[in-house]
Each structure stands twice: as C-alpha cells, then as structure tokens.
Amino acid sequence: MEKRQELYAGKAKSVYTTDDPDLLVLQFRDDTSAFDGKKKEALARKGLVNNVFNAFIMERLEDAGIPTHFEKRLSSTESLVKKMEMIPVECVVRNIAAGGLVKRLGVEEGMTLTPPTFELFLKNDEKGDPMINESLAETFGWAKPEQLAKMKDLTFKVNHVLKQLFTEGGMLLVDYKLEFGIFNGQIVLGDEFSPDGCRLWDANTREKMDKDRFRQGLGGVIEAYEEVGRRIGINFPA
C-alpha cells in the first residue's frame, strides 16, 4: 500500500489517497479546535493518542458486528480506512445532559436522559453545523429515510457497546457524535471515535475527561485522554 497525495485536510485530520482506489490514509494531527475552528491549538501527542484510541474502539465495534471504515493502524498517527461516500449528517446520542442540549433547552447539566436522546446535525462548518431532522435530510437530499433509520440503529448499537466499555473503566459516556458513509451500498461508520467527539466523565467525581477540558480551558487535555484510554485497556506507545 502506497500513500499518495493529500485529498483533504480537516481541522484535526488529513486524508490521503493510496494506490488502492478503495482505501485512504487518515492522518491524526496534533491540531485541536473548538467552537467551529475559532479556538485552535496544537497539543503534543494528540495525533498519536487519538489514532491509537480510535483504532481500539473501531476494533471493539467491528467485534460487536458494527460495520466501520477502519482497516488497520499503519503508524503512530496514521490508519488505513475504506474510501466511502460520506453522508453530511452527524448523529448525536446523549445519555446525560451536557453541552448543546443544556444551552438549547436550559435543562440541568448532569441530568440522566431516559431514554437517551438522538439528534441530527448538518455537517457544515460555515453554517455552524445546524440541527436538522429526518424530513429536512430527505427533502434536501442529505440522506434517504432508510439510510437515516440504519444510522440511528447503528448509533444506538454503538451506545450499547461503549456504555458498557466505559462503565467498566469507571466512566460515564455522557454523549457522542458519529458520522457515516456508504461503501458498496452499505451504511458504514466513518470518521473517528475519540475523546474529541464524545463526553466522558469520571463516574465518581464527574470530572470531565474529554474535549470539554480544551473547550473550557481546564488544562490536562491529553493527560485526560490517555487516562481514559488506560482505563479501558489501551497501552499507548511512548
């Protein structure tokens, strides 16, 4: 497998073509951003930590029968993934109220959500990733109803697998965002799963162990990501 030219550079990852038209290289960079790119900083080791973290989670999800774009980890900061046609819709599940939900509805942070909520957002930085729904997604052609149904089903399957994994590590999976694409006509989980795209709290102290540490300027961002990883059995390279 040969890494070729850069196809796209996002806020935290870059994507490269390979000599196989069905495969891409994802490079996890140290760049960290929040508030639609308004807050930016490079955090040492973040690319490595998120790449190793994501590989571990994607393998667990595959083991549980959830199709993902992940093929294998190539280096400390690179992974090989399937080239998909991305669906520009972000799926968010919340088990506990925090972040955007608290802001929007004025509910108390930390409230347990029964049943967990499911929300859709349009992946569009310029418009600030606005909240959408199934009707808007269908009308504007962002995703078909049957694709949205599958995405919802898979997003909740991920909740089942990961809630258990993080609970065993003494943490609460508060919420997370997933992105999907189409590969060979099948809906497949894409992007990454790392503490950049979810909220994780210590189960006893409710200390934040995710990107909110960066958003809120709490410090110890990568130390917290590595602690999350260690608690679920990840050995990070030096």
Which among 23, 159, 170, 186 is positioned nearest to 93, based on CA atoms?
159
Please say which residue, 18 or 221, places its beta carbon nearer to ligand C5P. Answer: 221
Task: Give me the least distance between CB of 200 and ligand C5P, in Å please.
Answer: 9
**Closest residue to bound ligand C5P by CB:** 99
Please say which residue, 181 or 197, places its beta carbon nearer to ligand C5P. Answer: 197
With left for phi above 0 and alpha for psi between -120 and 50, is residue 36 left, alpha or beta?
left
Would you give the end-to-end CA distance of the chain in angstroms?
A: 26
Task: Give me the least distance between CB of 17 and ligand C5P, in Å please.
Answer: 25
Number of residues that bind ligand C5P (CB under 6 A): 13
- Map the footprint of ligand C5P across residues 178-197, applying CB under 6 A: 197
Amino acid at 187: I
Burial class (CB in 10 A: 0-12, 13-18, 19+), 124: middle
d(CA 208, CA 161): 21
Binding of ligand C5P by 177 (CB under 6 A): yes
Around Cβ 133, how many Cβ atoms within 10 Å? 10
Please say which residue, 33 or 79, places its beta carbon nearer to ligand C5P. Answer: 33
Kindly write out the interface string for residues 45-74 of this chain, putting x where it contacts ligand C5P by CB under 6 A and - elsewhere: ------------------------------
Task: Give me the least distance between CB of 100 and ligand C5P, in Å please.
Answer: 3
Kindly write out the interface string for residues 204-223 of this chain, putting x where it contacts ligand C5P by CB under 6 A and - elsewhere: -------x------------
- Map the footprint of ligand C5P across residues 76-135, applying CB under 6 A: 90, 92, 99-101, 129
DSSP line for 180-215: EEEETTEEEE-S--STTSEEEEETTT--B-STHHHH
Task: Give me the least distance between CB of 20 and ligand C5P, in Å please.
Answer: 28
d(CA 233, CA 171): 13
Which residues contribute to the site for ligand C5P (CB under 6 A)? 90, 92, 99-101, 129, 175-177, 197-199, 211
